[in-house]
């Protein structure tokens, strides 16, 4: 074949590749490395000799007329096509695979036919050229690909076929959904194949969660070709398709936070093991000390309780107990990894999702009245001025005498027998005064109550002023700050590493105190930096404490959970579960998860507020107070607790902080967090 390949002369039938397709022709003349060839299309072309495929013949007489030559070429071409159609490329590959590495087409044809002629050789060559999955053409021979390479190519081809099918059906569906959502006259919506539909739903969910990387990004671009490049396009399409509800919380997906309690079903065996160990640990008689908890009426995960009384010297004796879910906890388990990922409970207008499995956080470890529970028991002695004299923590079991609410506490304080609540309020007042004396900055911002309800198949949002329980909330907040600060100091004195919230900043004189004016609060907040998570105790300036280690909410916050485990290990005489180096390495993930979950809390609450404003913006104006004046004016809506910005020209030339306006709001898009002041009139 090599000799025939190089000795082409006029009359020889040759083939060459044009756009990857074999084309047949006859040599009319030869000049050095170029051939003049007449093709079936009646064209004469100049062909590099090296471009001729490695099969030639038969030889046709150059004395025949042009028309006869073309008829013979046509007959030869049809004959080769008929021979090729009878060949099975997979059977040929199976015959050769593992036995032949690479060979020329004439040699390979000899394995199939006893005496192959040029047409048989050409037909086989054409076939092998068309099936690149099994054969690779490296002139003048064909490589027989290995089984591994063939399987890989088949897998890639199937993926490509599936991707093309997905893109074709997905494009048609997404365009139809977009037109429907845009109010265009509805056409018949194309229905993708069931498997394709399921894959498209998964792609939309991935896009909603911002998984737009690598191959996924390329596929998404293909699927949405011709559609607007909008931030929430995937969510809009999914809602229009109907498999996600209208007010779907996409922030959960972006943070990888599973709503509800279904996630815990994957860890049912670990939960049951905790319950079994709990029953074996429980003592016959828990400790009691007139302990009470104060929470909102809807709270079911009760993680703290206290009792307080005057001592003989006019000081105070406080017993504080914190739920202790870490006695038998395995910090290397899948359950722990899931809880760490959740990071904290979420309290949103549409409901609550708890950090721990509800069987543990709402039942097994919750400090329900009359139930024996494991606790961190902290005994505190305080002077008559409210200064801490001694701190004594221990791990034990306790029984809370009663669970009460903020509202009930207020009523009891107004009654004839307030009991220890009066003493607790007296102490809380002193604790707050002491913190202010040490530089604490306390803001009194009244967030509204947001109620989400269903009406005529639609979700409606109502905002109303929250019911205030100032004395009850003062008692709880001051006791919690006290506990977190004294345990920070206690652990620091013993070299026990904990996670701390720190805000080591210097504020100008006069900032300490309680603030209610929106303008003053805004100015102070601008001077402050946010607190951060650290492994070393440092001051928390705005709280007015020398150290602050969050520990009072171990059922609701993972950092508190970890701190409690560190203290438990120390109190039981064991080394710390984590040294400073290990805790330092944990900080990035803990901080990132905390920020991600806090973002859900912040922006989902704002979403419902904007939805409320959207509903009522056409019916009334809104009260706003100017906080800051620049190129943009910052305005607070005190009732709704919203901050807005708008161009200064809307407010006139004499606008100044503290000025009140009646505002007209418009162009409200809760999903994209957009709200505009379209008119401002001085009140």
Count of Cβ atoms closer than 10 Å to residue 48 Cβ: 10
Mean pLDDT confidence for 651-663: 94
Give yes or no: residues 598 and 621 share one domain: no
**pLDDT recorded at residue 187:** 67
Question: Domain of 638: which CATH number?
Answer: 2.40.50.140
- Evaluate if residue 4 carries a pLDDT over 60: no
**pLDDT recorded at residue 214:** 63
**120 belongs to a structural domain:** yes
21-32, pLDDT tens digit by residue?
999 999 998 887
**163 belongs to a structural domain:** no
**Which of 215, 244, 273 corresponds to the end of one domain?**
244
545-556, pLDDT tens digit by residue?
999 999 999 999
571-599, pLDDT tens digit by residue?
999 999 999 999 999 999 999 999 999 99
**135 belongs to a structural domain:** yes
**pLDDT recorded at residue 7:** 67
**107 belongs to a structural domain:** yes
- Range in 114-118, 182-186, 241-245, 308-312 with the lowest mean pLDDT: 182-186
**154 belongs to a structural domain:** no
**pLDDT recorded at residue 186:** 63
**pLDDT recorded at residue 647:** 95
* CA nearest to 363, candidates 295, 297, 274, 477: 274
Report residue 188's pLDDT band, with 50, 70 and 90 as the boundaries: confident
556-577, pLDDT tens digit by residue?
999 999 999 999 999 999 999 9
**252 belongs to a structural domain:** no
Q: In what order do the strands lie in the sheet with 292-295?
A: 388-399, 372-382, 316-323, 304-310, 292-295, 402-405
The tokens of 31 are what?
A: 């000049």
Mean pLDDT confidence for 398-410: 97
Percent of the chain topping pLDDT 90: 83
Mean pLDDT confidence for 597-608: 96
**610 belongs to a structural domain:** no
Mean pLDDT confidence for 312-330: 95
- Evaluate if residue 679 carries a pLDDT over 60: yes
Give yes or no: residues 596 and 466 share one domain: yes
- Range in 213-227, 602-616, 637-651, 655-669 with the lowest mean pLDDT: 213-227
Give yes or no: residues 528 and 589 share one domain: yes
- Reported pTM: 0.83
**pLDDT recorded at residue 182:** 84
Give yes or no: residues 204 and 280 share one domain: no
- Evaluate if residue 6 carries a pLDDT over 70: no
Is the separation of the CB atoms in 660 and 623 below 8 Å? yes
d(CA 439, CA 504): 12
Mean pLDDT confidence for 79-91: 94
**Which of 145, 168, 201 corresponds to the end of one domain?**
145
* Cis peptide preceding 58, ω within 30 of 0: yes
Give yes or no: residues 409 and 315 share one domain: yes
Rounded to the nearest 10 degrees, what angle do helices 406-414 and 470-493 cross at? 110
Report residue 197's pLDDT band, with 50, 70 and 90 as the boundaries: very high
Report angle CA 590, 294, 335 to the nearest 5 degrees: 35
- Evaluate if residue 428 carries a pLDDT over 70: yes
Give yes or no: residues 586 and 635 share one domain: no
Q: Give long-range contacts, CB 8 A cutoff, 24+ apart: 428-433.
A: 428/474, 428/475, 428/477, 428/478, 428/479, 429/474, 430/385, 430/386, 431/386, 431/478, 431/479, 431/481, 431/482, 432/474, 432/478, 433/386
Question: Domain total for the chain?
Answer: 4
31-53, pLDDT tens digit by residue?
878 899 999 999 999 999 889 99
**pLDDT recorded at residue 402:** 96
Give yes or no: residues 213 and 138 share one domain: no
Report residue 212's pLDDT band, with 50, 70 and 90 as the boundaries: low
Give yes or no: residues 587 and 642 share one domain: no
**pLDDT recorded at residue 622:** 94
The tokens of 35 are what?
A: 């051939």
Burial class (CB in 10 A: 0-12, 13-18, 19+), 429: middle
Give yes or no: residues 126 and 225 share one domain: no
pLDDT, averaged across the chain: 93
**170 belongs to a structural domain:** no
- Evaluate if residue 535 carries a pLDDT over 90: yes
**Which of 574, 604, 634 corresponds to the end of one domain?**
604
Give yes or no: residues 551 and 494 share one domain: yes
DSSP letter assigned to residue 265: G
**pLDDT recorded at residue 5:** 45
* CA nearest to 308, candidates 297, 317, 299: 317
Domain encompassing residue 560? 262-604
**pLDDT recorded at residue 2:** 41
457-477, pLDDT tens digit by residue?
888 999 999 899 999 999 999
Give yes or no: residues 478 and 538 share one domain: yes
- Phi and psi, residue 633, nearest 5°: -100, 130
Give yes or no: residues 359 and 463 share one domain: yes
């Amino acid at each position: 074949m090599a000799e025939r390949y190089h000795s082409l002369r006029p009359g020889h039938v040759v083939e060459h590749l044009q756009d990857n397709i074999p084309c047949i022709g006859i040599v009319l003349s030869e000049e050095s490395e170029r051939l003049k060839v007449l093709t079936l299309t009646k064209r004469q072309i100049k062909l590099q000799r090296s471009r001729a495929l490695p099969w030639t013949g038969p030889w046709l007489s150059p004395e025949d007329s042009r028309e006869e030559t073309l008829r013979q070429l046509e007959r030869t071409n049809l004959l080769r096509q008929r021979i090729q159609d009878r060949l099975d490329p997979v059977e040929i590959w199976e015959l050769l695979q593992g036995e032949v590495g690479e060979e020329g087409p004439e040699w390979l044809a000899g394995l199939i036919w006893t005496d192959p002629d040029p047409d048989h050789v050409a037909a086989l060559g054409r076939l092998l050229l068309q099936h690149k999955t099994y054969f690779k053409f490296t002139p003048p021979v064909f490589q027989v690909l290995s089984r591994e390479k063939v399987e890989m190519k088949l897998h890639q081809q199937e993926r490509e076929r599936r991707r093309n099918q997905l893109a074709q059906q997905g494009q048609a569906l997404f365009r139809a959904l977009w037109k429907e959502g845009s109010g265009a006259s509805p056409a018949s919506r194309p229905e993708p194949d069931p498997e394709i539909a399921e894959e498209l739903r998964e792609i939309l969910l991935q896009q909603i969660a911002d998984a737009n990387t690598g191959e996924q990004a390329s596929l998404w671009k293909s699927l949405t070709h011709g559609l607007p490049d909008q931030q929430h396009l995937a969510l809009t399409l999914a809602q229009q398709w109907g498999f996600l509800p209208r007010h779907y919380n996409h922030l959960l997906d972006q943070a990888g936070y599973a709503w509800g309690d279904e996630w815990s079903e994957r860890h049912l065996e670990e939960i049951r093991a905790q319950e079994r160990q709990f029953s074996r640990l429980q003592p016959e008689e828990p400790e009691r000390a007139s302990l009470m908890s104060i929470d909102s009426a809807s709270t079911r995960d009760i993680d703290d309780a206290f009792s307080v009384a005057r001592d003989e010297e006019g000081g105070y004796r406080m017993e504080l107990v914190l739920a202790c879910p870490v006695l038998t906890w395995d910090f290397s388990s899948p359950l722990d990894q899931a809880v760490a990922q959740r990071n904290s409970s979420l309290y949103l207008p549409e409901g609550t999702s708890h950090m721990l499995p509800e069987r543990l956080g709402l039942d097994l470890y919750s400090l329900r009245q009359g139930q024996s529970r494991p606790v961190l028991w902290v005994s505190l002695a305080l002077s008559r001025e409210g200064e801490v004299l001694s701190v004594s923590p221990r791990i034990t079991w306790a029984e809370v005498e009663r669970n009460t609410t903020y509202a009930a506490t207020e009523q009891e304080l107004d009654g004839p027998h307030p009991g220890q609540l009066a003493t607790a309020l007296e102490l809380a007042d002193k604790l707050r005064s002491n913190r202010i004396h040490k530089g604490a900055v306390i803001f009194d911002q009244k967030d509204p109550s947001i109620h989400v309800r269903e009406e005529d198949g639609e979700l409606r949002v109502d905002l109303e002023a929250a019911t205030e329980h100032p004395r009850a909330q003062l008692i709880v907040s001051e006791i919690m700050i006290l506990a977190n600060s004294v345990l920070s100091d206690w652990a620091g004195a013993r070299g026990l590493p904990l996670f701390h919230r720190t805000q080591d900043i210097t504020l100008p004189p006069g900032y300490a105190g309680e603030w209610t004016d929106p303008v003053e609060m805004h100015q102070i907040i601008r001077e402050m930096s946010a607190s951060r998570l650290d492994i070393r105790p440092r001051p928390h300036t705005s709280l007015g404490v020398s150290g602050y280690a969050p520990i009072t909410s171990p059922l609701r916050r993972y950092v508190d959970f970890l701190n409690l485990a560190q203290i438990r290990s120390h109190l039981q005489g064991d080394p710390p579960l984590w040294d400073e180096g290990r805790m330092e390495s944990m900080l990035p993930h803990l901080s990132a998860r905390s920020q991600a979950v806090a973002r859900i809390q912040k922006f989902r609450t704002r979403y419902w507020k904007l939805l409320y404003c959207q509903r009522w913006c056409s019916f009334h104006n809104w009260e706003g107070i100017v906080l800051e004046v620049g190129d943009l004016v910052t305005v607070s809506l005190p009732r709704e607790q919203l901050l807005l910005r708008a161009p200064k020209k809307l407010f006139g030339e004499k606008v100044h902080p503290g000025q009140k306006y009646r505002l007209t709001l418009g162009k409200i898009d809760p999903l994209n967090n957009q709200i505009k002041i379209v008119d401002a009139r001085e009140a």
